[in-house]
Amino acid sequence: MGEIMSSEQNEIILAIETSCDETAAAVVKGGKKLLSNVVATQMDIHKKFGGVVPEVASRHHIEQITMVIEQALDEAGMTINEVDAVAVTEGPGLVGALLVGVNAAKALAYAHHKPVIGVHHIAGHIYANRLEKDFEFPLMSLVVSGGHTELIYMEQHGEYEVIGETRDDAAGEAYDKVAKALGLPYPGGPEIDRLAQIGKDTYQFPRSYLEEGSYDFSFSGLKTAVINKLHHLKQKGAEVDTENIATSFQASVIDVLVDKTYQAAIDYGVKQLIIAGGVSANRTLRDRMSERFKDTNIDLMIPPLYLCTDNAAMIGAAASVEYHKQNFASLNLNANPGLTIE
Amino acid sequence: MNVLAIDTSNQPMSVSIIKESTLAAELTVNVKRNHSLQLMPAIDHLFNQTGLQPNQLDKIAIAAGPGSYTGLRIGMTTAKTMAWGLNIPIVSLSSLELLASNLLYDSCLVSPFFDARRGNVYTGLYRVHHGDIDQVEPDQNIDMTSWLEYLKSLGEYVKLISSTEHGFQSMVSEKLGDQGILVGHSLQLPRAGLLGSLAINKEDEDVHGLKPNYHRLVEAEAKWMEQQQKDS
Ligand SMILES: [Zn+2]
């Protein structure tokens, strides 16, 4: 019995992620152990366009896909025959980009009679943390990236309840737009974070908390306030203190993220709080969250930097839960750019 | 030799299995549906019909474009990944050459074309002759008016063949008169059985490096290159 249990818990999943501009593949054992994690980033290619161009991203995924999968298996010291299932990001994301991963996963799985597991990208971001430490339920997740700002409550594995989300721009999107207005290079988020360490919160931009008791977010008002301030300064011929603008903008975003997340974690009585997604690489966000949760008995989990940005390891970790539920996709699995998590 | 052949370059989807070097099963579907949903079930159907298993394949053949970007991506990703996964050779053929090959046993000039919107086509020029095919003009993206004027200037009879819907019927008869004709009666649809047969004697390609031939830059890339030229 014990032996069967342990072999069942140690399934090997080959995971593929191509939802945006990273072509990624990974091998994950039992949902918790990372055997390999390969990410081919297109960052430099999209830099010259000032943002991700979907058609360019899709074309590059096709050129990378088999090499990345091969490398992931090689680094794990495995052949495809030793894999128990192939997992892939089904959505959300760029449709042309998702299509490459989905069709690669189906073709590989079909050729070797393996099941396919379709994974929600955000579930992946949350489960990136399980590669570090096991979950304790109930838990709350703040997912912050270029496309998402969501508070997700979980009572058990594989069950997601979105209790709050952005009503307009995602936090990462606001970072990118403000960075663009400041003339900073793409990607703007890390650059703003860097400048914000130097400046002071002198501009006191608005903090949008929305109506009482809401866990939703809104960042477009803040973005507009920053852009208007820049126009105003320029009109007056006044000097723009880029560092202070960055600090003031970031302070406003992070105040709201920390306050709302803290409130949600308390209200729902969670044992763990997970910060996930690309923006969780932000130093100030990490520091402020640690400070706020320090005196609570809520266990704060923030993934290491390499698991914050898009990768396939997180898709393999999330797929493990579906593997044990035998939640397998059929041959007509498709890319679903607007997939919901609930 | 057992070959799986795939063409999803445009609205028609055609897949086939060549078993012991003879066409054993072919499926062509010409309706507006999503290739990403249809392709694997169609391949599965062919394996069931032929009694073959994927690991009995010796080769995979893919129509590599030009065509619809999405269609090309689905077919190419599937073909590449399956060939790599099974560790068997992959060969590709121009989607236009495949279509021109429908007339392989004629003896004439063939201009296959796909609608590329805004008056443009993806096209090329081939000469078929009793089972052989040679390329006369490379595959390209060009406006149909100039292309038809070029064909007219050749002073030779040419058969035009298109697997996509297009609005060029009257333009073809106006420009070419009795120097050309549009092929119909379902002979204008791509056939993966033909692709598989042609693939038997084609040389293997590098599976990792293989990508669709779009014959058109992404707009952002074209603009960027234009800007670079202006700056220098
Ligand atoms: Zn992401």
Output phi, psi for A215, to 5 deg.
-100, 5
Helix (H), strand (E) counts: chain A? 12, 10
Residue with the two structure tokens 């070419």: B176
Is residue A288 located within the same domain as residue A141? yes
Mutate to test the interface with A, among B36, B46, B90 (most CBs of A within 10 A): B36
Q: Per residue in A137-163, pLDDT tens?
A: 999 999 998 888 999 999 999 999 999
Cβ-based contacts of A96 with chain B (< 8 Å): 69-70, 73
- The rounded distance, in Å, linking the Cα atoms of A86 and A80 is 9
Q: Are residues A87 and A181 in the same domain?
A: no
pLDDT digits (tens, 9 = 90+) for B146-179: 999 999 999 999 999 999 999 999 999 999 999 9
Both tokens of A177, joined, read 């737009």
CATH code, residues B96-182: 3.30.420.40
Please list every residue in chain A whose beta carbon sits closer than 8 Å to the beta carbon of residue B84.
66, 69-70
Distance (angstroms) between ligand 1 centre and the Cα of B212 equals 27
Structure tokens at A286: 């990490």
pLDDT at B136: 98
Q: How far is CA A323 from CA A44, A100, A127, A318, in A?
A: 35, 22, 14, 9
Task: Please indicate, yes or no, if residue A334 is contained in any of the structural domains.
Answer: no
A156 plus A293 within the same structural domain: yes
Residue A123 Cα, ligand 1 centroid: separation in angstroms? Answer: 10
What is the strand order of the sheet A22-29 is part of?
Answer: A33-41, A22-29, A12-17, A85-91, A116-120
Model-level pTM?
Answer: 0.94
Nearest-angstrom CA–CA distance, B144 and A8: 61
What is the pLDDT, as a whole number, of residue A238?
87
Chain A residues near residue B209 by CB distance under 8 angstroms: 63
**Residue A200 and residue A175: Cα distance in Å, rounded?**
17
| Token couple for A95 | 């449709």
Q: Are residues A160 and A213 in the same domain?
A: yes
Quick one: CA torsion of A64, A66, A69, A70, rounded to 10 degrees?
Answer: -110
The predicted model gives B21-28 an average pLDDT of 98
Residue A258 is assigned to a structural domain of this protein: yes
- The answer, yes or no, to whether residue B124 has pLDDT greater than 70, is yes
> In 3D, which of A179, A297, A174 has the Cα closest to residue A242?
A179
User: How many angstroms separate the CA atoms of A327 and A37, rounded?
Assistant: 24
| pLDDT tens-digit readout, A93-136 | 999 999 999 999 999 999 999 999 999 999 999 999 999 999 99
**Looking at the domain assignment, is residue A76 inside a domain?**
yes
Provide the strand spans (E) within B30-115: 59-63, 90-93, 107-115
Residues of chain B with CATH 3.30.420.40: 3-94+190-220, 96-182
pLDDT band of residue B2 (cuts 50, 70, 90) is: very high
Average pLDDT of every residue of chain B: 96
Same domain, yes or no: A37 and A107:
yes
Calpha distance A269→A295 (Å, rounded): 15
Task: State the Cα–Cα distance between residues B202 and A185, nearest whole angstrom.
Answer: 47
Query: Is A256 found in the same domain as A190?
Result: yes
Which residue has tokens 């201009």? Answer: B111
How far is Cα A166 from Cα A157, in angstroms, rounded to an integer? Answer: 24
Task: Say which of A63, A100, A106 has its CB closest to residue B40.
Answer: A106
Are residue A22 and residue A59 in the same domain, yes or no? yes
Which residue of B33, B59, B73, B81 to mutate against A (max A Cβ within 10 Å)? B81
> Which amino acid is residue A243, in one-letter code?
E
Instruction: Count structural domains, chain A.
Output: 2
User: Do A96 and B70 make contact, defined as CB atoms within 8 angstroms?
Assistant: yes
Question: If residue A106 lies in a helix (H) or strand (E), which one and from where to where?
Answer: helix A95-111
Tokens of A166: 């952005």
Interface test with A, best of B17, B29, B43, B77 (most A CBs within 10 A): B77
Q: Is the pLDDT of residue B131 over 80?
A: yes
How far, in Å, from the CA of B3 to the mean position of ligand 1? 38
> CB of A170 within 8 A of CB of A147?
yes
- Note the pLDDT tens digit of each residue in A58-99: 999 999 999 999 999 999 999 999 999 999 999 999 999 999
Residues A196 and A260 in one domain: yes
- The answer to whether position A117 is within a domain reads yes
Give ipTM to 2 decimals.
Answer: 0.96
Å from B177 to nearest chain A CA?
39
Q: How confident is the model at residue A5 (pLDDT cuts 50, 70, 90)?
A: very low
CA distance A49 to chain B (A): 7
Residue A106 inside a domain? The answer is yes
A66 → closest Cβ in B36, B81, B219: B81
Q: Ligand 1 centroid to A144 CA: how many Å?
A: 9
Look up tokens 């690489």; give the residue: A281
Q: Which of B77, B211, B214 sits opposite A103 (nearest CB)?
A: B77
B85 and A67 within 8 Å at the Cβ level: the answer is no
Q: What is the mean pLDDT of residues A183-197?
A: 90
A169 and A238 together in one domain: yes
Do A93 and A144 belong together in one domain? no
* A253 within some domain: yes
Instruction: Judge: A111–B55 Cβ closer than 8 Å, yes or no.
Output: yes
Look at residue A317 and tell me if it is in a domain. Answer: yes
Q: Does domain B3-94+190-220 have CATH number 3.40.47.10?
A: no
Residue A276 tokens read as 């996930």
A279 pLDDT more than 60: yes
- Phi-psi map region of A226: left, alpha, beta (phi>0 left; psi -120 to 50 alpha): alpha
- Neighboring chain A residues of B38 at a CB cutoff of 8 Å: 332
| Residue A4 pLDDT exceeds 70 | no
A60 plus A146 within the same structural domain: no
Q: Which of A40-49, B2-11, B41-50 has the lowest mean pLDDT?
A: A40-49
pLDDT (average), residues B76-80? 98
Question: Distance (Å, rounded) from C-alpha A148 to C-alpha B27?
Answer: 42
B81 and A63: CB-CB below 8 Å?
no
B195-226: per-residue pLDDT in tens? 999 999 999 999 999 999 999 999 888 888 88
Distance from CA of B167 to the nearest CA of A (A): 27
Of A66, A69, A332, nearest to B40 by CB-CB distance is A332
Residue to mutate among A45, A59, A66, with most B CBs inside 10 A, is: A66
- CATH number for the domain including A315? 3.30.420.40
Contact B184, B135 (CB under 8 A): no
Taking CA–CA distances from B4, the nearest residue in chain A reads A111
Between A48, A99, A332, which is nearest B224 by CB?
A48
pLDDT-based confidence at residue A8 (cuts at 50, 70, 90): low
Q: Is the pLDDT of residue A1 over 60?
A: no
Residue of B nearest to A336 (CA): B36
Contact A103 B214 (CB under 8 A): no
Is a pLDDT exceeding 50 seen at residue A171?
yes
- Count of other CB atoms within 10 angstroms of residue A206: 11
Pairing of strands A161-165, A139-144: unpaired
pLDDT at B91 exceeding the cut of 70: yes
**Contact A149/A217 with Cβ under 8 angstroms?**
yes
Mean pLDDT of chain A: 93
Whole domain around residue A79: which residue ranges?
A: 2-127+308-324
User: Is pLDDT larger for residue A245 or for residue A240?
Assistant: A245
Residue spans of beta strands (DSSP E) within B97-183: 107-115, 120-129, 132-143, 158-161, 180-182
Q: Check whether residue A81 and residue A195 sit in a common domain.
A: no
* Arithmetic mean of pLDDT, B80-99: 98
